[in-house]
Structure 1
Amino acid sequence: MTERTGAGRNWAGNLEYGAARIARPTSVDELSELVASAANAGAPGGATRVRALGSRHSFNRIADTEGLLVETAGLPAHVEIDAEARTARVSAGLRHGEVAEALDREGWALANLASLPHISVAGAVATGTHGSGDRLGSLATQVAALELVAADGSLRRLRRGEPDFDGAVVGLGALGVVTALELDIEPTYEVAQRVFERLPLEAVLADLDAVTGLATSTSLFTTWRDPDVIDQLWLKQRTDAAASEALPETLAAMGVHAATVKRHPLPGVSAEHCTDQLGLPGPWFERLPHFKLGFTPSNGDELQSEFLVPREHAADAIAAVRGLAGSIAPLLQVCEIRTVAADTLWLSSSYERPALGLHFTWLPDQPAVEALLPTLQAALAPFEARPHWGKLFDVAEASERMPQLYARWNDFRSLAARYDPNGVFRNDLLERLGL
């Protein structure tokens, strides 16, 4: 195990971690000892606070603490496939791209991936991170079981169907340090990706369900510089599934055409590091993300926010964002619109409702972005918008609405108190949210 003072910065470079020290355990036993020692530190009833740190891809302080940060990437790396159960047990610190490559070598796959394959499995799951697809849930819905080191240093295992499972999966790091997850897998498959350009927004809003249902995974990109146009439509279609029969008719009615060269979501940016397009079939893990695993995205060049609204409010929420285009566009690199299927995970942004995500990739101007967020959240509040846990949002505004946004909010508070009665895994952000 290695230990040092100062934890450095996050992936985007917009925050410096406040932890007094950071440790990188190389075994679950070492991690258990660290947590147990922290729980017993300080004055009677006190504890050194602990948070887990994965690929550092959160844009807020959900993974921060003033005490001890634990890097999960140092734990033994493994991807153990159980073909009969159709699950794979993976170490929490692995990145999704690394897991995907290991699975594909053995003829297996995941149902979906996020747009970036560079994020850690446990971090993505704990924050409810997702890809896109009307029938595809968040990455957390792939979890069949999880193991975590609890506040007393003990190793606990929860399986799908057990009483605490649905509350623990999207756990925000509040229950313990996740060490391994079992993920649902399926036989490997191929995906073909095509990009279409300049869709009239009014036509999209007139039949949004038809547009998002055109492929296995669908993403709409716009800069809001022209509030009447969606700049790009990315369609990722499994080759082993029937393509939408409405595709030619729907797009022809809009007067849109397929891109004839590879595109990047950001206007004018080279598409060299984007996954292959132009309808060329390829392995699932080389098409479902927007970017290639071998490419390290540019650190420090962006900030991110995302808000997810119930599907029935999707068109109205998009229209509300359009109404703020004049304020949003000067700070925006690109806005992605995508869909997520409903699930039963208590703190999932798709809990008991299919959702539409409004994702904002901002310019790296945090004061200006933070000044705009209250206005943006106020515009989306009538549509029950839930903020992505790992991205920038106005915490004060969101904290007042948490019990209304999440029907199991108080159940999760009780679950966290039961797993961590002395607050070892609490941090400032969770406390400000009411946990």
Structure 2
Amino acid sequence: MHKRTFLKLSSAMLAAPLLSPLSAWSAGEKLKNWAGNLTYSTDRLTAAKSLDQAKVFVKQHAKFKVLGTRHCFNIIADTSTELLSLKDLHEVISLDAKAKKVTIQAGMNYGQLSPYLHGKGFAVHNLASLPHISVAGACATATHGSGNKNGNLATAVSGLELINAKGDVIQLSKEKDGDTFNGAVVNLGALGVITKVTLDIEPTFSVRQYVYENLPLDQLKAHFDDITGSAYSVSLFTDWKNKRFNEVWIKSRVGKDKPFEAKAEFYGAKKSAKNLHPIAELSAENCTEQLGIAGPWFERLPHFKMGFTPSSGKELQSEYFVPRRNAVDAILAVERLHAQISPHLMITEIRTIAADTLWMSPCYKQDSVAIHFTWQQDWPAVSKVLPQIEKALAPYNVRPHWGKLFSIAPSVLQSRYERLDDFKKLVETYDPQGKFRNDFLSKNLYGK
């Protein structure tokens, strides 16, 4: 039996600059997502402080959505009816050191979980570029870090607890529920209220992070696999100007596999002698430590520190996945649009992700490359560029990130998920009346 710890994390550890939903409304402000590009469509929010309260809420409401840490840029978590928050449910339920599993409440984010795990001698296999996101929300949308051999964050999930539309508590596990479990992990908020998540963990480890500047595009064309496979996690940043990658962030596990040799030059790029921000004009103060200084995994795998606003703050984001075998062709297709992209762009990040078996993951059964765009907050301009990017990537069966901005037609999007019909049947099982369905799901999963 798992030892129950119920460790309540200290308020000091949880401190973050982001305004909570309840605080925002109490001050008379409309609730927005963290970047400020989306205003939610209702001011009716309930914060559950226990599993029983969440069950009562589900039974009492005919239609609602669960609101997490508000890091999505589209309306995947929006509704005009009711919002439910589980932000107060952020405890560690159990840590099974022998089985290497941790079970947490769904309101916990990676910035809260990671120091706890490290203190107990454990880690998760990877992290996204920022630690502010909730574990449940990140896994539900197939959010990811980088690394040729690293699956997205949802691939660490080995168990789920959820409340279905009837208000019943359902337990699912990788061990007992097989392929159905693969359908439930990247759930897009369609199956119910996720209340607990169990993650596979591993012994804690250290990482060294180096940044190189000005990698020629020609080098990427000739050596893509070598570059992205040079360390545990590699990210390439470009503004699509001058046929180069402005920065290459290389995160190397200490004592894992072949160590990264941090020479002065890396495929034509020069090693930086100072800490950098992915957006060169911004201060590196809020970025994780570089210059090869070893540190705990959770202080190096993200690009941004927990105690600071991530990225640039006021921005828009889009991201597209294509098979890794098409990576170079896809990157070159985007580069040909540099004149249309660069005027509205802050930075693009390119990462690799290993294949998985999760039905609604963009990396389902295919090693993938993700091309991420951080845009200036100018939606009229960005909305004209996205269709051009999607058209250029269409030959590679491009799939968008579920929580970011895209304009791919529903019929096209649906055709790119071979397990979509199975997922709809699973949704029918847990939510036959569409209690958890909103405009985003209606359009993209069921629309024409």
Q: Which amino acid aligns with 2:422?
A: D
Alignment partners' CA distance in 1, 2:90 and 2:280: 41
> Equivalent residue for 2:328?
315
1:15 to 29, 38, 49: 38
Of the candidates 412, 416, 428, which is equivalent to residue 423 of structure 2? 412
Alpha-carbon offset, residue 434 of structure 1: 2.7
The residue matched to 1:75 in structure 2 has which SS? coil
Choose which of 216, 221, 243 in structure 2 pairs with 1:205: 221
Identical amino acids, percent of aligned pairs? 47
How far residue 242 of structure 1 moved from its aligned partner, in angstroms, is 2.9
Residue matched to 1:42: none
Determine the C-alpha separation between the residues in 1 that align with 2:395 and 2:366.
16
- Aligned 8 A contact 2:41 2:78 in 1: yes
Q: Residues 204 and 167 from structure 1, CA distance in 2 versus in 1: closer, same or farther, beyond 3 angstroms?
A: same
Q: Is the 8 Å Cα contact of residues 402 and 409 (structure 1) preserved in structure 2?
A: no
Counterpart code for 2:361: S
Q: Deviations over 1:178-223 (max 9, x none)?
A: 0110001111110000001101101111120010001000000011
| Mapped pair 1:325 → 2:348 | no
Deviations 1:309-348 (A, max 9, x none): 0011110100011000000000100000000000000001
Amino acid at match of 2:201: I
> Residue in 1 aligned with 2:237?
221
Q: 1:76 to 1:132 in 2, by over 3 A?
A: closer
Q: Which whole-Å CA distance do the structure 2 matches of 1:377 and 1:136 have between them?
A: 25
Aligned partner (choices 32, 35, 51) of residue 28 of structure 1: 51
Match among 315, 319, 334 for residue 302 of structure 1: 315
> Given residue 239 of structure 1, which amino acid in structure 2 is its aligned partner?
V
Unmatched runs of 5 consecutive residues or more in structure 1: 39-46
Distance 1:246 1:108, change over 3 A: closer
Q: Which residue of 2 aligns with 1:89?
A: 103
Structure 1 contact 26–76 (Cα < 8 Å) conserved: no
Larger mean Cα displacement after TM superposition, 89-98 or 131-140 = 89-98
Q: Secondary structure at the match of 1:434?
A: helix
Provide the secondary structure at the position in 1 that maps to 2:170: strand
Partner of 1:236: 251
- Tell me the alpha carbon deviations over residues 237-269 of structure 1, each in whole angstroms, 9 at most, x when there is no partner: 0002133678759x55x3322101111100121
Whether the 8 Å CA contact 1:97–1:293 is kept in 2: the answer is: yes
Q: Which residue of 2 aligns with 1:287?
A: 300
Map 1:243-282; keep pairs closer than 5 Å.
243=258, 251=265, 254-282=267-295
Structure 1 residue 79, shift from structure 2 partner: 4.9
Other structure's SS at 2:196 match: strand
CA contact (8 A) 2:164 2:192 kept: yes
Greater CA drift, 6-15 or 58-67: 6-15
CA contact (8 A) 1:7 1:22 kept: no
Query: Aligned runs of 1:18-417 on 2, under 5 Å?
Result: 18-19=41-42, 21-38=44-61, 47=62, 49-75=63-89, 77-161=91-175, 162=177, 163-226=179-242, 228-243=243-258, 251=265, 254-297=267-310, 300-394=313-407, 397-417=408-428
Unaligned runs of at least 5 residues, structure 2: 1-21
**Coordinate RMSD, CA, aligned:** 1.8
**Aligned residue pair count:** 420
TM-score by length of 1: 0.93
Q: CA deviation at 1:298?
A: 6.7
Q: State the one-letter code of the partner of 1:408.
A: R
* Whole-angstrom distance in 2 between the partners of 1:234 and 1:312: 22
CA distance in 2, matches of 1:388, 1:156: 27
Match of 1:44 in 2: none
**Alpha-carbon distance in 1 for matches of 2:203, 2:53:** 35
Cα 1:94/1:299, change in 2 over 3 Å = farther
Q: Which amino acid aligns with 2:432?
A: P
CA distance in 1, matches of 2:409, 2:174: 29
CA contact (8 A) 1:131 1:138 kept: yes
